[in-house]
Amino acid sequence: MKTTAQVVVIGGGVVGCSVLYHLTKKGWSDVMLLERDQLTSGSTWHAAGGFHTLNGDPNVAMLQSYTVGLYKELEEISGQSCGLHLSAGIMLADTPERLEFLKTTVAKGRYLGMATEIISVQEAKTYFPFIEDQHFIGALLDPNEGHLDPSGTTYAYAKAAKLGGATIEVQTKAESLEQKPNGTWRVITNKGVVECEHVVNAGGLWAREVGRMVGIELPVLAMEHMYLVTDEIPEIGEYNRSTGKDIAHVIDFGAECYLRQEGKGIVLGAYEKACVPWSPKTTPWSFGQELLQPDLDRIALSLEVAFRHFPRLENAGIKRVINGPFTFAPDGNPLVGPVRGRTNFWSACGVMAGFSQGGGVGLALSNWMVDGDPGFDIWGMDVARYGDWATRTFTNAKVRENYSRRFSIRFPNEELPAGRPLQTTPLYDTFLAQGAVMGDSWGMETPLWFAPPGEKAEDIVSFHRSNDFEPIKAECLAVREAVGVTEIANFAKYEITGAGAEAWLLQVMTNTMPKQGRLMLTPMLNHQGKIIGDFTVAKAAEHRYMMWGSSQAQVNHMRWFEQTLPKDGSVKIEALGMKLIGLSIAGPNARALLQRLTDDDVLNEAFKFMDYREMEVATVKAQVNRVTYTGDLGYEIWVAPEYQRRLYGSIQAAGADLGLKNFGMRALLCLRLEKNFGTWYREFRPIYGPFEAGLDRFIKLDKPDFIGRVAAIKEKQDGPKRQRVFMVVDALDADVMGDEPIWVDGKVAGWVTSGGFGHFVNQSLAQGYLPTELVKPGVQLEIEILGERRPARLQMDPPFDPEAKRMRM
Ligand SMILES: Cc1cc2nc3c(=O)[nH]c(=O)nc-3n(C[C@H](O)[C@H](O)[C@H](O)COP(=O)(O)OP(=O)(O)OC[C@H]3O[C@@H](n4cnc5c(N)ncnc54)[C@H](O)[C@@H]3O)c2cc1C
């Protein structure tokens, strides 16, 4: 066995083999894969082999599309058949809500170039003849679905990788990992030691154990999963002969099951509510190519419904039942990328759909390792989307929830309960007592809206405007006409100190840095000149800066900061988490309210827009930013958590006669929309350049140097190819949610990034991206909402306070 390699990939399932192949494709040939048993001997060998391109996250969907398109190439290179059957797939709608969901899915797919369409039940029967019409009202057709041979596909990746120079060692278990002081790794195996620069964890069912070798607890859990294979059904052979096609892959949401052809029979697998985790704490190393004990009672409910929906199947005999484990992250998407705090230790695990996603995971990870960037927007799969709060038992609760809801609709206003409440602020109970409906913001409970007295504090889930519409309107109007208070604890907050702090900030951020006592807004770019962050920075003192950003990106951002900090220790950065939490007051009466709480002068001349000040508010030491995301006069007041209740109580008492009202996160998002403020993860993502995103004024190209400057100069010189736009929509009773296509002249020309109702301006609003040549006054737009194209128009200025006087009043 070789004793050195540039990369050691641990795990010979479909994912590890894909990573290995993609590394060789990128030109790294000194790469080695270690497999403790034989290739495929984790989850891979007993998979049902289905593949599809659809995913709730359009960026993950694109990588799935890549995976499905890859198999032909793989067969050609390796000479190994993947056993492809491109049978097409249909998803059956049994309720109006499900049909609406499928229409939004088709709409999302349009701008990704996917060929999905809504078809009638009659047409669906031409793909899957066993459907009993009366139970369904429509279907989605995806021509790019099918199934393959899991083992053949894994070996095809492995052969193609070997042809590219890779080495594969089977019966070779990585037993422990040691990092040397120079950052390189020693992989200790049962056959000796391999020294390498990079380690990839593609351990599948054992990914947690491999993570533990470097002291991390990855949020992954294996679940038992069952499918059965029926005896031959003569009609299938007849169908194959008469049409020349396989029977299509089917998802029946009502029965929570999937079906496809296998030989001349049917595979039927279910995602049952009564799901069962497998090896919740530790996966035994002794687990070989084994199956688990089937328990058909667990999926009896699914079978009962499926037999009602497809009666012909009820009498088909069962040839075999497979029960096997495979892994999930809490949200069901993979965990990919460099692990924060562990140099050159890469994650490629939690892949629950290895045959839809394995290719995309391999491609993105190999790009990341070789080029320093995944090359795509893979935020939805980044291992850094979870923090320490995603513990093993939290993961257990969330994975079970996710598994049992695999075929359930997730409505845009739906919050999922498992594992909650996890992190709460001192005001949690107070807000609940005041009618708050809480949402989960990356592990932290955040008030979304407040139900009026006497009304139930609960969302009625829907794709349409719902029971929160009027209460949110009242909250928005209170902010615009008087004053509102909201909790803003769910921001990421950082303190940056040291003699090198300013120089480092100037290097990683695009804007100049503020003077002492002032704030500055700044995007952050990667080396390719794409947006990877969006921050507010305050200079608190010489060599001390405070910074606020997106909480969900905190681990991702800390990983980037730690990579870019000078090695001489001249800069320190701390993510403050719950050490600093805040309340924001906003609206025309906000200054009067703040003045009642402090003996500092907060008049406009003394405390200007974009000022930062350390002061006492309600007798509490606070840091106050004169800025709010509402686009109104307002302040963010940051305090230590032990003072938050006092601060809130004082604000309530002092604001009673000023028209003070609580407002939640949903009102905040409506208010920012009226100002056309973008938001991280929707308008600002690593697929957009700063000029496309309209962030021109925060990009100081005349600064000596900063990361992404060269690419940003090029973007500016070439002119952005697309632009962020603001639109007013002629909506009926449903506003945009994000990811809807924008039509121009009967063609899909762009997409929506976010939107909703602007209650103060009384208009349905949307933001999105369009090709630059279409961004001109008078262009006729349509936005597809729930399957219907609604007229929309471009609006160049924000509808609320276009001259930005309110923030400065
Ligand atoms: C019943 C069932 C049906 C399924 N149906 C489908 C389907 O239709 N479509 C689909 O896309 N997916 C399906 N899946 C899921 C699919 O099997 C997984 O997504 C996929 O196999 C994950 O591959 P992996 O490479 O990440 O993990 P694994 O297949 O678990 O591979 C990990 C490998 O790493 C090795 N390993 C671990 N630790 C070490 C170590 N320390 N040293 C050396 N080697 C190590 C293991 O031996 C193993 O071979 C199904 C799964 C099950 C159980």
What tokens appear for 218 in the block?
């990855």
- 666-695 pLDDT tens trace: 999 999 999 999 999 899 999 999 999 999
Does ligand 1 lie within 6 Å of residue 271's CB atom? Answer: no
DSSP string, 473-525: HHHHHHHHHSEEEEE-TTEEEEEEESTTHHHHHHHHBSSPPPPBTBEEEEEEE
Give the CB-side neighbour count of residue 182, counting CA atoms within 13 A.
5
**Residue 205 Cα, ligand 1 centroid: separation in angstroms?**
6
Question: Is residue 63 very low, low, confident or very high in pLDDT (cuts 50, 70, 90)?
Answer: confident
Does ligand 1 lie within 6 Å of residue 540's CB atom? Answer: no
Question: Is residue 65 very low, low, confident or very high in pLDDT (cuts 50, 70, 90)?
Answer: confident
CA 659 remoteness from chain centre: 38
Q: Which of 53, 251, 276, 326 to mutate to test the pocket of ligand 1 (most atoms within 8 A of CB)?
A: 326
Q: Which residues pair with 497 in a beta bridge?
A: 544, 572
Does ligand 1 lie within 6 Å of residue 50's CB atom? Answer: yes
- Global pTM exceeds 0.85: yes
Q: What is the pLDDT of residue 619?
A: 98
For residue 258, give the nearest of 296, 293, 228 by alpha carbon. Answer: 228
What tokens appear for 73 in the block?
């190439």
Question: Is residue 108 very low, low, confident or very high in pLDDT (cuts 50, 70, 90)?
Answer: confident
Residue that is written with structure tokens 């279910």 in the block: 270
Q: Give the separation between CA 635 and CA 602, rounded to whole angstroms.
A: 11
The one-character DSSP state at 618 is: T
- 379-423 pLDDT tens trace: 899 999 999 999 999 999 999 999 999 999 999 999 999 999 999
Question: Are the beta carbons of 88 and 142 closer than 8 angstroms?
Answer: yes
Does ligand 1 lie within 6 Å of residue 626's CB atom? Answer: no
DSSP string, 392-443: HHHHHHHHHHHHHTTTS---TT----TT-S-B--TTHHHHHHTTEEEEEETT
pLDDT at 56 over 80: no
Q: Which residue minimizes the CA distance to atom 34 of ligand 1?
A: 11
Q: Which residue minimizes the CA distance to atom 27 of ligand 1?
A: 204
Does ligand 1 lie within 6 Å of residue 678's CB atom? Answer: no
Please give the mean pLDDT across all residues of the chain: 96
- Average pLDDT for residues 63-78, to the nearest whole number? 93
